[in-house]
Amino acid sequence: MNSHHRSIGLVFAVHGMVAGSMSTRIPWIQDQLDLGPGTLGLALLCPSIGAFLAMPTASRLAHRFGTRATTRLLIALWCAAALLPPLSPSLAWFFATLLLYGAAAGMSDVVMNAHGVVVEKHLDRPIISGLHGMWAVGSLAGGGLGVLAAHFGLDARLHLAAVSLVTLAVGVLVGRGLLADGPAGAHVPAPRRFALPTRAIAAIGVVGFCGTFAEGASANWAAVYVTEVASAGPGMAAATYTIFMLFMAGTRLSGDRIVQRFGPVAVVRVGGATAALGALLVVFARTPLLAITGFSLLGLGVAVVVPLVFAAAGRTAATPGEGVAGVATITYLSGLTAPAITGWAAGAFSYPTAFTLVAVILVAMSALAGALRPKPAPTQTPEPALR
């Protein structure tokens, strides 16, 4: 693995570790602030809103200072942001800190993916799927340590302060090894603060919306589904989510070699078909084993979609940061709405009906995968020789 590749991979792992650590300590914060489920659910919308609003700013920073410098700055900000939510003295402060936390998450997400595209171009081979695999590994590690901290009753303020300090130190250290690049230059116009994506970016974003929808629906509802429909116990329900995430992580870590061999369009088409089959298994499952098999196929099929969407957008736009920011806003919107739409469909109709909708969306994703086809480099007409 090239040193620049290794460095950006570790940045992704750092980002994932912060996210995984925070997710395990939400119950502690809920107890401290005495929040009901409805209030907590409303509060947990704030990170996505903060990310959605702040991501276009990240592409402007990357345009002005380069993806390397911006990644180093924003990953440090992200590590520090994990300190804020557990320190909230009231509900209003909790809402505000989650907005800031989400803004730091989204901005750092955009620039590290943009830098990943820069490194991918430099190496001339796919690496984005593996980078997202490193994020999943970091998230699983952070979540595992968070579970231990919660089990032993460690104060979340101390736990997340330690996580922030360690990840900040690692982020600063590995940031030095990122591939050097500079500002985009005067010949490339700065991205607008808010602008509709181009037709090409929007088409790529729709593929990402479908993949993120299936991922979000599965991650948020897998444990509930096997409990309510397949009569699974608490241990089996937790195992369903874990197995889904392990299939996601494993596929992302090995996805670059598959993409290099078959190309992004074929991989997304086959992945969409595989995930749709998994969703149908979930629909007809009435035993935990069949439901877990279905969610495993879902994780396997959608794992590389978002990395490939980010890579395609980064290659298509004028700058990687602008392209990644454009599709990231679409995928974040999908991640924000998927759990709610799935829950509404399950409540209004049934859980199997909700995952029938997921299967239909996955079929649409396969049909639209051609948007990820790499565009041929423009041919330059040679200038006539001077006589």
Alpha helices for the chain (secondary structure H): 3-24, 26-33, 37-43, 46-65, 67-81, 91-123, 128-151, 156-175, 199-228, 234-262, 264-284, 288-302, 305-316, 320-348, 351-367
* Gap between the Cα atoms of 14 and 277, Å rounded: 33
* Gap between the Cα atoms of 360 and 325, Å rounded: 27
Q: What is the pTM of this model?
A: 0.84
> pLDDT (tens digit, 9 = 90+) per residue, 154-195?
999 999 999 999 999 999 999 999 999 878 665 667 676 665
Q: How far is CA 321 from CA 90, 108, 154, 186, 376, in A?
A: 36, 11, 39, 16, 20
With vertex at residue 335, the alpha carbon angle to CA 148 and CA 82, rounded to the nearest 5 degrees, is: 40
* Gap between the Cα atoms of 259 and 256, Å rounded: 5
CA 347 to chain CA mean position, Å: 27
pLDDT, averaged across the chain: 90
Examine the pLDDT at 282 and tell me if it is beyond 90. Answer: yes
Query: Confidence band (pLDDT; 50, 70, 90) for 48?
Result: confident
Examine the pLDDT at 368 and tell me if it is beyond 80. Answer: yes
Q: Work out the end-to-end distance of the chain between its first and last CA atoms, rounded to an integer number of angstroms.
A: 49
Q: Please count the other Cβ atoms lying within 10 Å of the Cβ belonging to residue 177.
A: 16
